[in-house]
């Protein structure tokens, strides 16, 4: 397995995506929210890059069965039903619903990955499930695409990517060939075992804490809490539940 990690999506153009199986990581908070919504029975998620795409889409859908979710600058968008706090995506709220979803970085990474062979969503919450999925499907070419923050590396995404690399390496040994980004992230994950500390010290984590989202930080740092692997296909995300305990 050839494994490349990208620190942010702006250079992840078509030649990089093509033929690859992509894991999109946006720990704070798009990946964590998508995983939680899928775990809690959302019917499908329609990721869109721009707020206007979301508002244009709504009149074409059954409004009763549709939720509008997402953020800009960390805050719920005006007129939307939900923000980007994973804790709001409870079974009572999301079960059986269609979620139209837009965030600052995560949905950009999803759009960039369109040419890939497979796109799945990962974070600390479903880390083991993502790794098991990759070990079962055994693609030759895997890309870990960190969402980053407006074109820059995000500590929490980079370290989470490193945890994926480390888990794959433990199982595949020399069968795993990594790029430097994957190697650097893996080494960093090895020396930063305190996930909540990583998330809390990150730029985005500190910003969310200042906005009052401390509970989200604690939630997003839970390792292997869920077995859902959200899969992006034909512009829709649906949850694939693996290894239900």
Q: Which residues bind a second copy (CB under 8 A)?
A: 4, 6-8, 10-11, 149, 151-155, 158-159, 179-181, 183-184, 187-188, 190-192, 201-204
Residue 80 tokens, joined: 């939307």
Nearer to a second copy, 106 or 230 (CB): 106
Q: Which is nearer to a second copy, 8 or 71 (CB)?
A: 8
Least Å distance between CB 236 and a second copy?
30
All residues at 6 or more sequence positions from 15 whose CB lies less than 8 Å from its CB, including other chains: none
* Residue 170 CB neighbour total at 10 angstroms: 10
Q: How far is the CB of 154 from a second copy (least distance, A)?
A: 5
Question: Is the separation of the CB atoms in 16 and 114 below 8 Å?
Answer: no
Which residues share a beta bridge with 205?
A: none
Nearest CA to 84 out of 69, 97, 98, 100 is that of 69
User: What's the min distance (Å) between Cβ of 191 and a second copy?
Assistant: 4
Residues 6 and 146 sit within 8 Å (Cβ to Cβ) = yes
When the beta carbons of 122 and 181 are compared against a second copy, the nearer one is: 181
**3-class state of residue 217 by DSSP:** helix
Nearer of residues 110 and 159 to a second copy, judged by Cβ? 159
Supply 101's token pair. 């979803």
Between the CA of residue 197 and those of 60, 137, 182, what are the distances in Å? 43, 32, 21
Q: How far is the CB of 102 from a second copy (least distance, A)?
A: 22
Q: Quick one: 217 or 229, whose CB is closer to a second copy?
A: 217
């Amino acid at each position: 397995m050839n494994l490349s990690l990208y620190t942010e999506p702006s250079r992840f153009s078509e030649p990089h995506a093509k033929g690859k199986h992509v894991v999109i990581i946006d720990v704070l908070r798009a990946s964590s929210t998508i995983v939680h919504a899928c775990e809690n029975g959302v019917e499908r998620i329609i990721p869109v890059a721009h707020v206007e795409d979301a508002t244009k889409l709504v009149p074409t859908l059954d409004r009763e069965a549709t939720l509008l979710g997402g953020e800009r600058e960390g805050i719920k968008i005006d007129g939307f039903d939900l923000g980007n706090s994973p804790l709001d995506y409870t079974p009572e709220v999301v079960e059986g619903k269609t979620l139209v979803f837009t965030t600052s970085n995560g949905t950009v990474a999803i759009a960039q990955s369109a040419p890939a062979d497979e796109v799945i969503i990962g974070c600390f919450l479903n880390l083991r499930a993502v790794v098991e999925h990759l070990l079962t499907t055994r693609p030759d070419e895997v890309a870990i695409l960190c969402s980053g923050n407006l074109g820059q590396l995000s500590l929490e995404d980079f370290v989470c990517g490193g945890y994926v690399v480390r888990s794959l390496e433990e199982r595949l040994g020399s069968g795993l060939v990594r790029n430097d980004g994957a190697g650097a992230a893996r080494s960093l994950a090895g020396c930063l075992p305190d996930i909540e500390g990583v998330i809390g010290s990150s730029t985005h984590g500190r910003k969310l804490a200042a906005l009052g989202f401390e509970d989200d930080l604690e939630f997003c740092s839970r390792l292997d809490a869920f077995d859902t692997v959200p899969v992006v296909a034909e512009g829709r995300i649906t949850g694939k539940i693996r290894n239900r305990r």
